[in-house]
Amino acid sequence: MAFGTLCSVVQDSLKGLVRARFALCSLIALLGCVGVAQASVQIISAPTDVLNGASGTGESDTTIFGFQEQTGILTDQAVNHLVSGTQTNIPGGQSPGIVTATFDSWFFHFDPVSATGDGNPVRSATGSITFTQNILGLIFLSADLTATDATLGLSPTTTYPNTPATGSASRGLELSGANIDRLIASVGNDQRTLDFDILLANSSGVDQVRVLVATGAGVVPEATSLVAWSLLSLGGVLGLRPARNA
């Protein structure tokens, strides 16, 4: 190999290493900024049902399923917690009130697998959801969920549970006792983010929350989606190409 050709090859290799290092540093910086969600909040199309053992969503020990219900609702609506710009921990900090602004309704549903098989009777799911508009109110008590199915839900297209108002078979969140469900509204004083920490004993029922959001809201992509995009970008910077057939 001629000396000039060898120099050219070395220079190209060094440039490639520099590009790779820059891309890797950029990816690490991105991961540090957005974090990787432990989570499991998955947005789906409206299911046929959100019953215990739902065929519409399927059961999952780790995933909270969410979907959009009614949009552009003008009616004043009583809620179990009226969300403000101040971070609020539930239970303990909830403040009932009335949403008076036009809103969209979103529904979140946790239904763990009934037969655990591992000796652990409690299933938990944690995660967060961030909207593109402000969260206005939360409905998480069983009786109030049932009372708003007809007006805010998608009945009869989606079948909702008709459960007792209290007790282990109820569909609302448990705010006292051994397996307390927790919500954090306006995470970091951001009125668009809601954190879930949900527990279900014996995997015998469901936990559900209805979230009222300023109309026109969408969902911000999860960190995992951003990471996937970044990995694709990394491949482009490194000049990765599909292998060609000989």
Gap between the Cα atoms of 84 and 86, Å rounded: 5
Is the model more confident about 37 or about 132? Answer: 132
* Number of helices and strands in the chain (H, E): 3, 12
pLDDT confidence band for 163 (50 / 70 / 90):
low
Indicate whether 217 pLDDT > 80.
yes
pLDDT confidence band for 104 (50 / 70 / 90):
very high
Please report the DSSP string for 192-244 in residue order: TEEEEEEEEETT-S-EEEEEEEETT--BPPPHHHHHHHHHHHHHHHTT--PPP
Does residue 245 lie in a domain region? no
| Alpha-carbon dihedral sign for residues 8, 10, 12, 14 | negative
13 and 118 housed in the same domain: no
Is the model more confident about 174 or about 105? Answer: 105
Q: What is the overall mean pLDDT for the chain? A: 76
Q: What are the pLDDT digits (tens) for 33-84?
A: 323 334 489 999 999 999 887 677 778 888 999 999 999 999 999 999 999 9
Beta 41-43 vs 64-68: how paired, if at all?
parallel
206 closest CA partner among 140, 148, 152: 140
Does residue 246 lie in a domain region? no
Which of 124-128, 186-190, 231-235 is least confident?
Answer: 231-235
Contact call for residues 40 and 60 (beta carbons, < 8 A): yes
Distances (CA, A) of 123 to 62, 82, 138: 8, 28, 23
7 and 54 housed in the same domain: no
Which of 39-43, 64-68, 105-109, 130-134 is least confident?
Answer: 39-43
167 and 99 housed in the same domain: yes
81 and 199 housed in the same domain: yes
Indicate whether 232 pLDDT > 50.
no
pLDDT attached to residue 113? 79
Gap between the Cα atoms of 21 and 113, Å rounded: 44
DSSP state of 61: S
Mean pLDDT of all residues in 208-223: 89
Indicate whether 246 pLDDT > 70.
no
pLDDT attached to residue 17? 41
30 and 47 housed in the same domain: no
Domain with 157 in it: 41-220
Does residue 242 lie in a domain region? no
Does residue 121 lie in a domain region? yes
Indicate whether 31 pLDDT > 90.
no
pLDDT attached to residue 40? 83
pLDDT attached to residue 59? 82
140 and 63 housed in the same domain: yes
Structural domains counted in the chain: 2
Query: pLDDT over 90 for what percent of the chain?
Result: 44
pLDDT attached to residue 60? 85
Contact call for residues 164 and 142 (beta carbons, < 8 A): yes
pLDDT attached to residue 27? 36
127 and 206 housed in the same domain: yes
Mean pLDDT of all residues in 127-155: 95
Query: Can you read off the two tokens belonging to residue 238?
Result: 């490194």
52 and 7 housed in the same domain: no
20 and 119 housed in the same domain: no
pLDDT attached to residue 237? 39
Q: Could you tell me which residues are beta bridge partners of residue 61?
A: none
pLDDT attached to residue 87? 93
Is the model more confident about 141 or about 166? Answer: 141
65 φ/ψ angles, rounded to the nearest 5 degrees: -95, 140
pLDDT confidence band for 101 (50 / 70 / 90):
very high
